Structure 1
Amino acid sequence: MNRSDFIKSGVLLGGTFLMNKESKADTQFKQSGSPFNLDYAPHEGMFATSAGKDFIDQIKYMHDLGFRSIEDNGMPGRSVEDQKKIGETLAKLGMRMGVFVVPKGGNGANTLAAGKSEHVDIFLKGCRDSIEIAKRVNAKWVTVVPGDYQRNLPIGVQTANVIEALKRGAELLEPHDITMVLEPLSDTPDLFLRYTDQTYEICKAVGSPSCKILYDAYHQQKNEGNLIPLMDMCWSEIGYIQVGDNPGRREPTTGEINYKNVFKWIKQKGYTGIVGMEHGMSKSGVEGEKALVSAYREVDNF
């Protein structure tokens, strides 16, 4: 064998070795790509290092990893064309669309607690816009945050104002089989909606299948703790679940929440909805993506 042939042969052998090595690592990373016990939903960017920046490619890669749903809070900000592409991709892969946030669905600037008609009108327009978006991506859940306290009003009056606004939103959404899920948050004490039982009371008062609780375990661990007992008390009104570990709001196993027990309990309750991965990642790049998948495989192994 002359030198030229030897070099060519060595390159081919080396390339084959690297391909085999990468294939093994990839297989280990994907862990066969089998679906999880619960339906966890990643969001854009979680697998951008491996799948690239295109969201459609990321969705396909998520499917390869075993995920069967996605979330995209910013869906209303995407073009109609992109929304349709995402919807078509999900349909082809047999994946579900998780929550997106109702445009201006209630915030500090237009809180529903104030009882002002102009604030309610903005919220209702957001509901109407959400119906059209939901049709394009086959979404069944939309996130609503009622906004901040209106501190010059008694709490009972504020609560009644929120309930009346949500009743009108539910009337719009119910014929389209869309559920607005109310999310109590921990971001600031100015927020009107902060606790599970408070949200339960409001959903009961609205009395519609289109108004339920979005239970985010990260926020509720910060606000109230006692996760499983409080979920159990309010279970009939919980329509959607999100997670993130605390402290840090990163993937399960990085904080104090025993997510294996929480997920096992949720499964035993018969929950078949989506579990949104509403958190950041403890590491960046491919290593972070591997750690993310590994964490969910670990806590899903019950």
Structure 2
Amino acid sequence: MKRSEFLQKGLMATGALVAGSSLTSNASTQTVNKAAKTFNLNYGPHDGMFKNLAGNNFLDQIQFMYDQGFRGIEDNGMSGRSPQEQEKIGNLLAKLGMAMGVFVLNKGGNGANTLAAGKKDHIDIFLKGCHEAVEISKRCGGKFTTVVPGDFARNLSLDMQTAHVIDALRKGAEILEPHGIVMVLEPLSDTPDLFLRTSNQTYLICRAVNSPSCKILYDIYHMQRNEGDLIANMERTWSEIAYIQTGDNPGRKEPTTGEINYKNIFKYLYEKGYKGVVGMEHGVSGSGKDGEQRLIEAYREVDAFM
């Protein structure tokens, strides 16, 4: 299957209706309100981002997001939710016509079980997470799952570690590909111990895995810290990028709070034809309701690139 067809089907399936569950929060009884104007890109807030304006219930927050013009969400913690809660989220997203962005693959790679080491028990944990992701996807409608290969195995050469990561990801792709699920590899800047650090390194690995189920998650915050030259690096690796996340630098808060020119970056993404969720994986610079309202205004400001 061509990459474009594969991702298109995955995006269309995102947020699909999952039967067998009824909503129990206030959101379940609300009709779809006349919402605020939608954005040029599909920005996706996460749980807790609007807890002061919408309350602590994630379903109520999703309804609030919709009313503010957002048409997507992401939820790193989806794997830790109960199956019943996953279904409720999927049902509400389908009702509102919203897209489900990434959820993190359960133990998809970390310092404790790094894929770079090539150890069978580490790979088995990763593959178990892939099988779980298939079931989670059926319930919540999400077609993108975040994978971090873990830390360096410093007793091995970099080439050997890279080969181990590729081998493990190929096995994971065999599980996910029949279900149209894409594991998106995220290079991070949190610690120098992390194996996956740059977009070109991730590009090389995705090309070697050679599956529509193994692509790049380009987190603009992390890539600004690790490599800069953001638009040029996205252009170089575009054929393997399947998901985008945001966060300004320094501080990892909403756009307009740091040094990144998000209006230009979003204009670039729009002109490239990116239709996926732009995950808002960052904090809120202000406090309380005023801080959350300012976050919405910041996205309106940087989305005004037309």
Consecutive unaligned residues of structure 1, counting only runs of 5 or more, are 1-30
Q: CA deviation at 1:198?
A: 0.1
Q: Percent identity?
A: 67
CA positional deviation for 1:232: 0.2
Question: What residue number does 1:164 align with?
Answer: 167
* Amino acid aligned to 2:229: N
The match for 1:191 among 166, 189, 194 is: 194
Q: CA deviation at 1:187?
A: 0.2
Structure with bigger helix share is 1
> What is the match of residue 101 of structure 2?
98
Query: CA offsets, 1:86-119, max 9 Å, x none?
Result: 0100000000111010000100000000000110
- Structure 1 residue aligned with 2:250, among 247, 250, 254? 247
- Aligned residue-pair number: 273
Q: Deviations over 1:260-286 (max 9, x none)?
A: 000001110111111000000110111
Q: 3-state DSSP class of the match of 2:242?
A: strand
Post-superposition offset of 1:32: 6.2
Max radius of gyration: which structure?
A: 1
Deviations 1:173-193 (A, max 9, x none): 000000000000000000000
Question: Are 1:208 and 2:187 matched, yes or no?
Answer: no
Alpha-carbon distance between aligned partners in 2 of 1:257 and 1:146, rounded to the nearest angstrom: 27
| Deviation beyond 3 Å, 4+ runs, structure 1 | none
1:218 aligned partner, one-letter code: Y
Residue 290 of structure 1: aligned partner: 293
Matched AA of 2:103? F
With the length of structure 1 as denominator, give the TM-score of the two structures.
Answer: 0.89
Q: Contact 2:45–2:279 at 8 Å: present in 1 too?
A: yes
Q: Look up the match of 1:14.
A: none
Contact 2:35 2:66 survives alignment (8 Å): no
Q: TM-score, normalised by structure 2?
A: 0.88
What is the rounded CA distance, in whole Å, between the counterparts of 1:174 and 1:209 in structure 2?
7
Out of 34, 41, 52, the residue aligned to residue 49 of structure 1 is 52
**Structure 1 residue identity aligned to 2:191:** T
Indicate which of 229, 232, 236 corresponds to 2:235.
232
Preserved contact between residue 47 and residue 61 of structure 2 (Cα < 8 Å): yes
Residue among 113, 116, 131 paired with 2:119: 116
Query: Is the counterpart of residue 257 in structure 1 residue 244 in structure 2?
Result: no
Higher relative contact order at CA 8 Å, sep ≥6: structure 1 or structure 2? 2
List alignment gaps of at least 5 residues for structure 2: 1-33
Map 1:20-99 onto structure 2 (within 5 A).
Answer: 33-99=36-102
Alignment pair present for 1:153 and 2:161: no
Secondary structure, aligned partner of 2:284: coil
